[in-house]
Amino acid sequence: MKKLMVFFLSLSFCFTFSQEADSIKTKELKEVLVVGTKAALHEKQTKTLATLDEFLQKSTKVDLIKRGAYAWEPIINGMATERTVITIDGMRIFGACTDKMDPVTSYVEVSNLSEATISSGQQGSCHGNTIGGSIDLKRSQRQFTNAGWEFSVNSGYETNNQQKIIGSAINYADSLFYVDTDIMFRDAENYKAGNDKEIQFSQFRKLNLSATSGYRLAPNKNIEASVIFDRATDVGYPALPMDVSLAEALITSVKFNYKPNLEQIDNWETKIYFNTITHTMYGTKRPDVPIHMDMPGWSDTYGFYSKVNGKYKKHQFLANLN
């Protein structure tokens, strides 16, 4: 009986103690919305002026076939380029070289890209039929903000192949108009392997120009024009009996973006594009090639797509006409 009374007294004490008022005051915080632009792709790397190939090889889904110091061929999930899709902002581009010396990734620079979206299998079929997957290279996109003028200069030097890198960007943005321009130049000599052995025919020279301009037609409508010019010359491939005298690409597009005032549709984007590629391989500088043969190639691609992003209740959907 005494034990039972002690138990009830202890329980009452606990109940009384638990009913004491909390000495910590509650203060509700207001929600803070942070708005900013994505950093460019090269700003996310420890080696800021690395090539796009060096960035892609960090992905576990991408392997690279290296025939030289330039234009590595990306392999997605073990599938070659003819079984995968590589696009720039959703634009299809077909190389002009029969030996795959001009992958799509060789015609862009990290200085004007924001991210590379890698999808596996049928998840990458948004921009075309694919088995292995896809890579969509998304360029940096300026917002309609009163940021004004922005200037930047990049330069670098690599000792192994004496690569000289220099680039510049000029950007302007206000509430109705923006323009982004970017230039990057690379000049590299033969690189050296172990024991300071020089690898012959591994040099390259490359110039890349990029410009994007947008205009706001209405609060929920805008139009954007874009152009990329890339020219590589004197590109050596030590793993092949031939080199590249010229790899040149002109990639253009016009995009219309519309955000309707509808609950189910978030964004409607339509783009028309055109690109042309010239690629010339030759073996006249190789001393051990018995028959010198030039291999010129051309490729022109026209296309358009119109895609709608939306949501219905707890579901999200994407419809794409390509």
Tokens, residue 260: 């309707």
Per the listing, tokens 């960090």 go with 58
Query: Which pLDDT value is given to residue 27?
Result: 66
What's the rounded Cα separation, in Å, for the pair 165 and 102?
Answer: 21
Query: Which pLDDT value is given to residue 81?
Result: 85
Query: Which pLDDT value is given to residue 37?
Result: 52
Centroid of chain to Cα 125: 17
Query: Which pLDDT value is given to residue 8?
Result: 46
What's the rounded Cα separation, in Å, for the pair 180 and 141?
Answer: 8
Query: Which pLDDT value is given to residue 29?
Result: 55
Q: Mean pLDDT, 10 residues at a time, over the chain (322 residues)?
A: 50 48 64 48 66 87 90 91 91 89 91 87 83 90 86 92 94 93 95 91 95 94 96 92 93 95 90 96 82 86 94 88 88
What's the rounded Cα separation, in Å, for the pair 109 and 206?
Answer: 10
DSSP count for the chain of H helices, then E strands = 2, 15
Which of 196, 239, 228 minimizes the C-alpha distance to 71?
A: 239
Q: How far apart are the first and last CA of the chain?
A: 85
